[in-house]
Amino acid sequence: MSTPGPRSLAEALRLRDDASLSELLRARPDLITPVPTDLTQLATRAGTRASVVRALERLDRFALQTAQALAVAGDPASYGELLGLMTGDRGEPAVAAALPRALGTLRAQALVWGDDERLRLVRTARELLAPSPQHPSPTGLGPTVQEATAGMSPGRVQEIVTKAGLATTHDSVSAVAALTGLFSDRARMAALLAEAPAESREVLDRLVWGPPYGQVTADPAPRLRWLLDRGLLLPTAPGTVVLPREVALHLRAGRAHRTTEPMPPALEATAVHRPQVVDTTAAGQAYTALATVEELLKDWDEGGPAVLRAGGLSVRDLKRTAVALDVAEPVAAFWVELAYAAGLLASDGEADERFAATPAHDEWLQQPADLRWTRLAEAWLTATRTAGLVGGRDAKDRTLSALGPGLDRSAAPEVRHRVLTLLAGLPQGAVPSAESVLARLAWERPQRREDDLRARLARWTLSEAELLGVTGRGALSAHGRALLGAPAPAADKAAEPSGPGDKLPVHHTPVVVEPLSPAEQAVASAAAARLLAPLLPDPLDHVLLQADLTAVAPGPLQRPLAAMLGVLADVESKGGATVYRFTPGSVRRALDAGQAAADLHAFLAAHSRTPVPQPLTYLIDDVARRHGHLRVGAASAYVRCDDDALLNEIMADKRAAALRLRRLAPTVLAAQADPAALLEGLRAMGFAPAAESAEGDVLITRADAHRTPPRTPPEPVPDGPPTPDATLLAAAIRAIRAGDLAATAPRKPTAAPLAGGDLPRTGSAETLATMQAAVLTGEALWIGYVNAEGAASQRVIAPIRVEGGFVTAYDHTADEVRTYPLHRVTGVAELADEA
């Protein structure tokens, strides 16, 4: 750049075009909530601690390493200096090639500004990343010679300089500069170290990659003494010494990091399945998911589990559910949470609070299977509730229960989306190892904390995606891909052989898929449903009856048939097929449920592909015979009429067949159809029936199903504001530009100097900016301040730090360091020069 570079971050931002500002705001959406009035304010906000921490946490490993290197470089640093720190003396082409990208990222995020000659890391980032005794840097570097010798007596400094073989100087500053010069000079330093005793070299080798601090006794051993004498180790506190940064860099051949990772780790495919196998497996699992959720809620139809006082499901209820679903407890927790996230179940909010299905569940049941699945999958993708946490403990050591509080994790949707996007980048049917996915995520977003929530979330995502049928055999299915809105990979790519060995890293085509807006998601879901629908099995209308008193349904059954069989026989095993066993108990249950032996025979004959085996006929007849003559039948509805002839007419009518009417007595017909259908049916036949109130003799199973009042599904709890869309961004930038113009337009100096008694008055943005500037320059300011009692005063302060709405400053008036809330500062003015 020929023009002189910008002098502040605000200026640097002012030089950027709209697209680049838009990129900044997209990456750091917290900067426009609320929309800043001008670019100065935007720059100020971009420099606040909270925002910088947030931005740093979102950097990939190499960009973070670059930022860390800048934090230990000079301020400003040239691109060459930075490159040296990243690659070392030997140079690494891969790192050198990746560095412009990383720097670009840092610049785009307004963490670094200035041209290549004068790169500046924003001050807050430098404070966060630079090594200090409290916060050791990931680089493992210590303070510079200058920082480490700050409190040392001039005499001691001169001694060191002499021992190091330099001429004495008049003052400490030049002595320290000379020492720094020596340590930074590779050739002279090599000569100095060549004289070092071997044991002393060992000490240096131990400290070189950090931590750079070591303990010494009051009377150091000779090998330490040799190093201390020459300033190769400098004392920091009594008993502690540090390896100065320049020395460490020399020993490391100039590298700030022991290892740099310029490229994201490749995803390693452990297996490649045929896409068809993946899709059908996933579809099978998707069907299982639907069946499981349905079974779960059916189980809770009559009085679901109670809500704990603290909210959530008790451990015992979860166990019971797990047993009922025949799955492990964590898996049961996943299904429960999934149904909750999809709005299919909720607490009923009554005095004796219980969980139950919502009305939305009933609507859901009516939908075709593919739409039911996308509803679940969408809910899963966007939910911040995290079933994997169930059974763990929160910060207060309370058990986290399913459906209970404390399960929201803001990062969950983003991690889920990222993991699936990574899978989408692989060729169709390729299965990455979980480790390589985790390694990739860790590179993209390094975590400092020990408990690696993102890694756990990623693992849960992989297993949950499999449970839900988004993936099959570990590879992303076609409908899963569609759900993400990711483009289907080209067909020829899928056909390509993956390489000679299975474990070879598969070429990963980066697919950039942004999280979808609700409208886009609806389109993507519809596409996924279209792909999934043909893969789901069609419900069957028949079973195979066998002489060993079992019935096998070789696939999913139509719902009414499954329900009836579920009563007439006990389910012995579930899966692709269902095996039912007829026992005297189960047949009795069916008879108790109001079926007559003849009905059962008819039912079996109608739905069996094979002749009904004789032992089964005998079983039913035997049980029916012993069932007694008293008939406590269960009919869904009845028709009562004093006129026998009218009933004869109904029975004779063919259209009544669908109602499955049965004559109980000359004046009574029983129907298997429910009252509503019966009423409708009879009306359709031209009769005018009237419904009778249920006085306990009509049992309508549907009416018993317990429902909550209408409920909305839980809102996701995102981390920070959502990524702004283009319209908002454009509007925000326009507003900022306008404000900036207003603020920076040249104008006549306002005004009369302040009269002695008046408080200075400035706008809050200007107050903040002035304070920030004063922190940088170290100037003192004159402020007006209103204390908690409302009393106004004027003070002269030298701001030290501005953050979180407070300014910490040395108060010249009170002669001590104080902290003032910014909102109580009425205004600020720079002091006249003579003050």
Partner 1 sequence: MNGPLIVQSDKTLLLEVDHERADECRRAIAVFAELERAPEHIHTYRMTPLGLWNARAAGHDAEQVVDALVQFSRYPVPHALLVDVAETMDRYGRLTLSKDPAHGLVLTTTDRPVLEEVLRSRRVAPLVGARIDPDTVAVHPSERGQIKQTLLKLGWPAEDLAGYVDGEAHPIELAEDGWALRPYQKQAVENFWHGGSGVVVLPCGAGKTLVGAGSMAQAKSTTLILVTNTVSARQWKHELVKRTSLTEDEIGEYSGTRKEIRPVTIATYQVLTTKRKGVYPHLELFDSRDWGLIVYDEVHLLPAPVFKFTADLQARRRLGLTATLVREDGRESDVFSLIGPKRFDAPWKEIEAQGYIAPADCVEVRVNLTDSERLAYATAEQEEKYRFCATTATKRKVTEALVRRFAGQQILVIGQYIDQLDELGEHLNAPVIKGETSNAQREKLFDAFREGEISVLVVSKVANFSIDLPEATVAIQVSGTFGSRQEEAQRLGRVLRPKADGHQAHFYSVVARDTIDQDFAAHRQRFLAEQGYAYRIVDADEILAGG
Which residue has tokens 């390589």? 436
Determine which residue in the list 253, 544, 651, 676 makes contact with partner 1, applying CB under 8 A: 544
Q: Which of 575, 628, 757, 790 binds partner 1 (CB under 8 A)?
A: 575
Spatial CB neighbours of 476, under 8 Å, sequence gap ≥ 6: 278, 420, 423, 424, 426, 428, 465, 470
Q: Which is nearer to partner 1, 575 or 696 (CB)?
A: 575
Q: Does 295 bind partner 1 (CB under 8 A)?
A: no
Beginning with the edge strand found earlier in the chain, give each strand of the sheet holding 661-665 in spatial order. Answer: 637-640, 668-671, 661-665
Our CA dihedral for 449, 455, 460, 466, rounded to 10 degrees, sits at 170
- Angle, CA of 532, 538 and 540, to the nearest 5°: 160
Q: How far is the CB of 296 from partner 1 (least distance, A)?
A: 15
| 474 counts as binding partner 1 under rule CB under 8 A | yes
* Min dist. Cβ of residue 586 to partner 1 (A): 14
Residue number, 544 or 658, with CB nearest to partner 1 = 544
Comparing CA positions, the residue from 458, 457, 462, 509 lying closest to residue 486 is 509
Distance CA 578, CA 35 (A): 60
Q: Which of 42, 208, 430, 549 binds partner 1 (CB under 8 A)?
A: 549
Complex with partner 1: residue 466 or 674, whichever CB lies closer? 466
Indicate the residue among 221 and 547 with the shorter CB distance to partner 1.
Answer: 547
Question: Quick one: which segment of 98-106, 366-374, 433-441, 543-551 binds partner 1 (CB under 8 A)?
Answer: 543-551
Closest approach of partner 1 to the CB of residue 573, in Å:
4
Of the pair 431, 775, the CB lying nearest partner 1 is at 431
206-210: Cβ within 8 A, 24+ apart: 207/233, 207/243, 207/248, 208/243, 208/248, 208/251, 208/252, 209/140, 209/252, 209/258, 210/136, 210/137, 210/139, 210/140, 210/141, 210/142, 210/248
Which residue, 283 or 407, has its beta carbon nearer to partner 1? 283
Residue 580, CA distances (Å) to 569, 599, 767 in order: 6, 18, 78
Site for partner 1 in 610-629 (CB under 8 A): 610, 613-615, 618, 622, 626
Residue that is written with structure tokens 């859901």 in the block: 364
Region near partner 1 per CB under 8 A, out of 63-71, 165-173, 190-198, 282-290:
282-290
The CB-based long-range contact list for 321-325 (8 Å cut-off, 24+ gap) reads 321/296, 324/295, 324/296, 324/299, 325/292, 325/295, 325/296, 325/299
Other beta carbons less than 10 A from residue 365's beta carbon:
16
| Residue among 181 and 618 whose Cβ is closer to partner 1 | 618
User: Which window, 134-142, 224-232, 471-479, 586-594, contacts partner 1 (CB under 8 A)?
Assistant: 471-479
**Whole-angstrom Cα distance, residue 247 to residue 810?**
36
Shortest separation between residue 112's beta carbon and partner 1, angstroms = 46
Size of the site for partner 1 (CB under 8 A): 36
Buried residues in 726-750 as b, exposed as e (16+ CB within 10 A) = eeebeebbeebeebbeebeeeeeee
* Piece of the chain touching partner 1 by CB under 8 A; list 3-11, 299-307, 550-558, 680-688: 550-558
- CA 77 to chain centroid: 36
Minimal distance, residue 427 CB to partner 1, in Å: 19
Of 118-177, binders to partner 1 (CB under 8 A) are none
Distance CA 90, CA 78 (A): 19
Q: CA separation (Å) from 229 to 94, 233, 245?
A: 40, 8, 17
Q: Taking Cα atoms as reference points, which of 821, 803, 818, 764 lies closest to residue 124?
A: 803
Q: Does 586 bind partner 1 (CB under 8 A)?
A: no
* Residues belonging to the chain: 835
Under the criterion CB under 8 A, does residue 472 sit at the interface with partner 1? yes
Q: Which is nearer to partner 1, 325 or 376 (CB)?
A: 325
Does 359 participate in binding partner 1 (rule CB under 8 A)? no
Q: Does residue 576 bind partner 1 (CB under 8 A)? A: yes
Closer of 276 and 744 to partner 1 (Cβ): 276
Query: Which lies closer to partner 1 via its Cβ, residue 609 or residue 683?
Result: 609
Q: Structure tokens of 805? A: 């709405």
Interface residue with partner 1 among 152, 196, 216, 552 (CB under 8 A) is 552
Question: Which residue among 270, 546, 808, 813 contacts partner 1 (CB under 8 A)?
Answer: 546
> Binding segment for partner 1 among 37-45, 93-101, 391-399, 569-577 (CB under 8 A)?
569-577
Q: Is residue 666 within the footprint of partner 1 (CB under 8 A)?
A: no
Using DSSP, state whether 526 is helix, strand or coil. Answer: helix
Interface residue with partner 1, options 12, 313, 377, 579 (CB under 8 A): 579
Chain residues in the site for partner 1 (CB under 8 A) = 277, 280-285, 288, 326, 466, 472-474, 537, 544, 546-550, 552, 554-555, 573-577, 579, 610, 613-615, 618, 622, 626
